[in-house]
Amino acid sequence: MLGELTAQHFLPLIDQEFTVTYPEYQGTLILSKVDHGKKSSAPGRFRDPFSLLFNGTDPNTMLNQHIHPLTHPTLGTLEIFLVPLGRNEDGTYFYQAVFS
């Protein structure tokens, strides 16, 4: 299913919670932004690239760059590669997932 998703699947989910599970940790990430990448003219290309930006909710936890199971009531559980990018002003971390 992950390979079939496009940016349009995530746009209505902005500001919604995703449950993230990491070994010995379960928490919440909030989808904050969907960025559309550059349109591709490559033949046979299924989707245009896009990225998702998530905000963490726990300032004491930074998820490692890794594939994490994210669960949302609409999409179910997806295995998404998250990269920590930095900290928000409130001390929580923010993350990016890139789809090409």
Local confidence pLDDT in tens for the 100 residues of the chain: 777 899 999 999 999 999 998 777 899 999 999 998 777 665 556 678 999 999 999 999 999 999 999 999 999 999 999 999 999 999 999 999 999 8
The pLDDT, as a whole number, for residue 25 is: 82
Instruction: Residue 68: name the closest of 38, 25, 5, 7 by CA.
Output: 25
Q: Please give the tally of structural domains in the chain.
A: 1
SS3 90: coil
Instruction: Residue 56: name the closest of 10, 90, 7, 99 by CA.
Output: 90
Domain of residue 14, residue span: 2-99
Q: Is 9 left (phi over 0), alpha (psi -120 to 50) or beta?
A: alpha
pTM of the predicted model as reported, rounded to 2 decimal places: 0.89
